[in-house]
Amino acid sequence: MPRQSRIDIPGLLQHVIVRGVARSDIFWGDEDREDFVQRLSLLLAETHTHCYAWTLLDNHVHLLLMPTEQSLALFMRRLLTGYAVAFNLRHKRAGHLFQNRYKSIVCDDEAYLLELVRYIHLNPVRAGAVDDLSDLANYLWCGHRQLVGESTLQLIKADVIMPLFAKRKKAAFVRYLQFLSEGLQLKKGIKLSSGGRRVSQAYNGLLLDNDLYDDRVLGGGDFVEQVLGAAQTDVDATMTLNQLVTKLADYCNIAAEELLWSCKLPANVRAKALICFLATRHHRIAGVDVAKRLGYSTSAVSRAALRGMKLFKEDRVLQGFLKNVDL
**Least reliable range by pLDDT among 8-12, 81-85, 136-140, 220-224:** 8-12
- What pLDDT does residue 26 have? 95
* pLDDT value for 80: 94
Rg (CA), the chain: 21
Indicate whether 1 pLDDT > 90: no
- CATH 3.30.70.1290 residue window(s) in the chain: 13-227
Query: Nearest-CA neighbor of 220 among 230, 208, 229, 202?
Result: 208
**Is pLDDT at 165 greater than 90 in this prediction?**
yes
Whether residue 163 is predicted with pLDDT greater than 60 in this model: the reply is yes
In CATH terms, the superfamily for domain 235-323 is DnaA protein, C-terminal DNA-binding domain (1.10.1750.10)
pLDDT of the residue at 153: 83
Please write the tens of the pLDDT for every residue from 246-304. 888 887 888 877 777 777 788 888 888 888 888 887 777 888 888 888 888 877 888 88
Check: CB of residue 322 under 8 Å from CB of residue 275.
Answer: no
Alpha helix stretches (DSSP H) within the chain = 30-47, 72-91, 109-121, 123-126, 133-136, 144-147, 158-161, 169-185, 197-203, 222-231, 241-251, 266-277, 287-294, 298-314, 316-323
**Chain mean position to CA 247:** 30
More confident residue, 8 or 107: 107
What class has domain 13-227? alpha beta
Ranges in the chain annotated CATH 1.10.1750.10: 235-323
Of the listed ranges 118-127, 196-205, 316-325, the least confidently predicted one is 316-325
- CA-to-CA distance for 96 and 13, rounded, in angstroms? 28
Q: Assign 180 a pLDDT band (cuts: 50, 70, 90).
A: very high
Residue 48 has pLDDT above 60, yes or no: yes
pLDDT of residue 327: 36
Residues contacting residue 76 through CB under 8 Å, at least 6 positions apart: 16, 18, 102, 104
At 188 the pLDDT is: 65
- Is residue 68 within 8 A of residue 10, CB to CB? The reply is yes
State how far the Cα of 69 lies from the Cα of 53, in Å rounded to an integer.
19
Instruction: Band the pLDDT of 31: cuts 50, 70, 90.
Output: very high
Q: What pLDDT, on the 0 to 100 scale, is given for residue 136? A: 94
Give the mean pLDDT of the chain: 87
